[in-house]
Amino acid sequence: MDRRTFLSGSTQALGAAAIPAAEGAAQRRRESTATGKPNVIWLFADQHRAQALSSNGDPNARTPNLDNLAHMGVNFTNAVSGFPLCCPFRGSLIASQYPHRCVPGNEVLLPLEQQTIVAPLKEAGYQTAYFGKWHLDGFHERTGRAAMHIVPPERRRGFDVWAAYENNNSQWDSWVHGGAGKDAFHYRLPGYETDELANLVIKYIQERGDEVKRGPAKPFFAALSVQPPHNPYVAPADFMSRYNGARLELRPNVPPNADVQARTRRDLAGYYAMVENWDWNVGRIRAALDQTGLTFNTHLMVFSDHGDMQGSHGEEHKRLPYEESVRIPFLIGGEQPGQYGARRSGRFPVPVNHVDIAPTTLGLCGIQKPNWMAGYDYSHYRIRKDAPAGEPDSAFLQCIFPGAGQNLSKPYRGLVTRDGWKYACFENSSWVMFNLNEDPYELVNLAHHPRYRGPRRKLIERLRQWIADTGDKFPVPEDDVTS
């Protein structure tokens, strides 16, 4: 299959988030119910921190489409990346296993025997598709450029449609591959990565809409994974022109150091341009759903693999347990026919973790979570039904193999609790502890403060229980103010 065949019809321009005309809405709703089961689309960016949404209070962010999705749907305001690094998050995402059981570091192959979310979806009759960054095939960058690495069909985990790449940090020189045998393809995207991958998803949505119009069609699950706003911080020129680093409002925990502030302002200008471009493309995808009659039967799940420090505490990028690194956006929107009275919206401060996204997806589809999945199903916050027993009181944080990076050389374990505490430790040594309710910017480290020995003991014991319950191994400290 050549590039022109695969791209046919994919670059049709679609404006952001069209509002359905009243006279057409009823017809679109009728068409959307043809499959019976709801569709689900994952839309996830790389290094998009939860704070970088205007609906979450960021004065610099321009995210009208994501804000609309948050206001009309559910916004899990305390969602975290349990291991804030690309590959471990992605393994936990599709396998609902903690990183020490599937992908413990970057450039590690997801075990071939590991079951993923694809199996229960296909058993329930779903078509499945994956677009964009994969980063689970264990390719080592030191042996060549990952964008040129072809993930073999047998390692694509059963997705019916695949137009993806292993890894690539060059948004203007991005490649995708897929197919097999005479239908195999590998080509360079003709424009900016986020725009072009959104084009492919829009084409896929248009094809599903055409199937529904022709008669009974399977429901679908599609995943779009884009590299932006991961560094390098560049976006199309019209988006870049809207941000001047000197005028951006920095978070209060960016230290008043001239070099840190200069670097942060430079990087943030490109970062916010990338976020706005991502938001615009989310709007295009929502418009495509509306125009194809699929809006009223499709759940949109928007999240990120981890955040980005962007100068907070003087640090860059990810891996760290600070809020800017671990806190991710997690929104669920879309419509469900005949369920308007049962649909929920609002902001929920529950500790959603990366292992919970797959079970929650299945819950939205009415599919029972398999016993092998470790996560919790939070779908009852979006669709009214009985909550499963055992809702977590906290989210477990891990950094098993920190990988190459400038900000961390040791593994750690930690947790964030539903009532606003955070704790992380190195082996046998407390590291950080914050009361996020009183100190949201994590300016006062209580990890060695004698006055907080009681809360610290409880956090250490809860962390010890997380380690035991998940089969992890890590020597947490005995509580001692000198540890």
User: DSSP secondary-structure letter at 29?
Assistant: H
CA dist., res. 386 & res. 12, Å (int): 42
Q: What is the DSSP string of 465-482?
A: HHHHHTT----PPP--TT
Residue 310 falls in which region: left (phi positive, over 0), alpha (psi -120 to 50) or beta:
left
Q: How far, in Å, CA of 321 to CA of 306, rounded? A: 11
Helix, strand, or coil (residue 300) = strand
Residue 384 is predicted with a pLDDT of 82
Can you give the residue ranges of every domain in the chain? 3-392, 410-469
Q: Determine how many CB atoms are found less than 10 A away from the CB of residue 32.
A: 24
pLDDT per position in the chain (483 positions), as tens? Answer: 444 344 433 333 344 443 344 344 444 444 444 447 999 999 999 999 999 999 999 999 999 999 999 999 999 999 999 999 999 999 999 999 999 999 999 999 999 999 999 999 999 999 999 999 999 999 998 889 999 999 999 999 999 999 999 999 999 999 999 999 999 999 999 999 999 999 999 999 999 999 999 988 999 999 999 999 999 999 999 999 999 999 999 999 999 999 999 999 999 999 999 999 999 999 999 999 999 999 989 999 999 999 999 999 999 999 999 999 999 999 999 865 444 445 678 999 999 999 999 999 999 999 999 999 999 999 999 998 889 999 999 999 999 987 766 788 899 999 999 999 999 999 999 999 999 999 999 999 999 999 999 999 999 999 999 999 999 999 999 865 544
In whole angstroms, give the CA distance from residue 326 to residue 309: 9
The domain defined by 3-392 carries CATH number 3.40.720.10: yes
Q: Number of helices (H) and strands (E) in the chain: give both, helices first.
A: 11, 14
Does CATH number 3.30.1120.10 belong to domain 410-469? Answer: yes
pTM: 0.91
Four-point Cα dihedral 119, 123, 128, 133, nearest 10: -10
